[in-house]
Amino acid sequence: MDPISWWVWPIILFVFTFIIGIIAPLSGVGGGVLFVPLSTAFFPFSVDFIRGAGLIMALTSALSSAPQFIKRGLANIKIMAPVVCISMVTSIIGGIVGLWITNAFPSGKYYITIALGLVLLLIFFVMATSKRIEFPEVKEVDVLSKKLGLTGAWYEPSVNKILEYKTTKLPIGILCFSVVGFIAGMFGLGAGWANVPVLNLIMGAPIKVAVATSMAVITVNDAAAAWIYMAKGAMLPLIVVPSVVGITIGARIGARLAVRAKPAFVKYLVMGIMLFAALLNVYKGLRGLGIF
């Protein structure tokens, strides 16, 4: 029997996710990308329930912010629709494969833990190397993007102007999003860390549009994968509710702090935590398999 009283766990989860909620916006990552690996490394819950909760956390955050972004012209369904046509399918497949691995093999959870560690190393690498371009220059537009009219506009208060944009390289974007969708579904991540560079650096969306449209993409991908987890009973309100409440309140505070300043050390701190969690998950998985 667990030595800790049951009611302590929701409080621990609330405080844990509240802190994640504050530091995530300051570092520029989503809360789920910290919650899933850290919980897998340090908490006693099965990775199944952690991924289920991670998906709902990412989904709730995206659902809460996407409508505001769309109303301001920052998120655009025109860009979202063609990419999620493919990524929704891969996200569902990711969810099925992820749960199949942990439930069909006796050592399945260790394989998933190792894979999560490796994905985290990839995220660390993306964060360390990718640049953000405020207004990428789109010189040529591919045929598909042209036909679908992937353009938009938003009011930018910093320059007091309505800024117009267009995006390109839709086929490459779709290919990238299909891989990202699989990872999101398999590990219960929002995957903004990958969506934003694809939209910004490959498809040429301005950074604000990329961040906002990524939220719209997450609503669809994570909602589709959530059904897989629900149908397998991999969601426990005991974990989901305190985590969603904690991260929602924390993120509101974090977002306000982020408007004032985004101290560089917070980003490096989060990257350090992610690297540590990645190595710990790989070690934990290998130890579970009897390799260490």
Under rule CB under 8 A, which residues in 162-181 are in contact with other proteins? Answer: 162
- Per CB under 8 A, which region of 26-34, 86-94, 258-266, 283-291 contacts other proteins? 86-94
Size of the site for other proteins (CB under 8 A): 71
Extract the tokens encoding 9: 């766990």
Residues 57-76, mask of contacts with other proteins (x by CB under 8 A)? --xx--xx-xxx-xxxx--x
C-beta closer to other proteins: residue 159 or 264: 159
> Nearest-CA neighbor of 158 among 259, 24, 22?
259
Per the rule left: phi > 0, alpha: psi between -120 and 50, beta: everything else, 233 is: left
Q: Which of 161, 256, 262, 287 binds other proteins (CB under 8 A)?
A: 161
- Residue 288 binds other proteins (CB under 8 A): no
Q: Where are the alpha helices (DSSP H) in 105-206?
A: 108-129, 143-148, 170-187, 192-197
Amino acid at 108: G
Helix (H, G, I), strand (E, B) or coil at 248: helix
Interface of this chain with other proteins, residues 258 to 287, rule: CB under 8 A: none
Q: Which of 42, 125, 155, 268 binds other proteins (CB under 8 A)?
A: 155
**Distance of closest approach, residue 201 Cβ to other proteins, in angstroms:** 24
Interface of this chain with other proteins, residues 215 to 244, rule: CB under 8 A: 219-220, 223-228, 230-242, 244
- Residue 15 binds other proteins (CB under 8 A): no
**Distance of closest approach, residue 285 Cβ to other proteins, in angstroms:** 15
- Residue 48 binds other proteins (CB under 8 A): yes
Of the CA atoms within 13 Å of residue 269, those in its CB half-sphere come to 11
- Residue 84 binds other proteins (CB under 8 A): yes
Distance between CA 82 and CA 170 in Å, rounded? 8
Whole-angstrom CA distances from 69 to 76, 155, 199, 259 are 8, 11, 15, 16
Amino acid at 291: I
Distance between CA 33 and CA 183 in Å, rounded? 12
- Residue 118 binds other proteins (CB under 8 A): no
Count of C-beta atoms within a 10 Å radius of residue 71: 9
- Residue 103 binds other proteins (CB under 8 A): yes
Residues sharing a CB contact under 8 Å with residue 57, sequence separation 6 or more, in sequence order: 17, 31, 32, 35, 190, 240, 243, 244, 247
- Per CB under 8 A, which region of 20-28, 40-48, 113-121, 279-287 contacts other proteins? 40-48
C-beta closer to other proteins: residue 244 or 266: 244
C-beta closer to other proteins: residue 85 or 126: 85
C-beta closer to other proteins: residue 124 or 185: 185
**Distance of closest approach, residue 226 Cβ to other proteins, in angstroms:** 4
Distance between CA 130 and CA 10 in Å, rounded? 36
Count of C-beta atoms within a 10 Å radius of residue 147: 10
**Distance of closest approach, residue 78 Cβ to other proteins, in angstroms:** 7
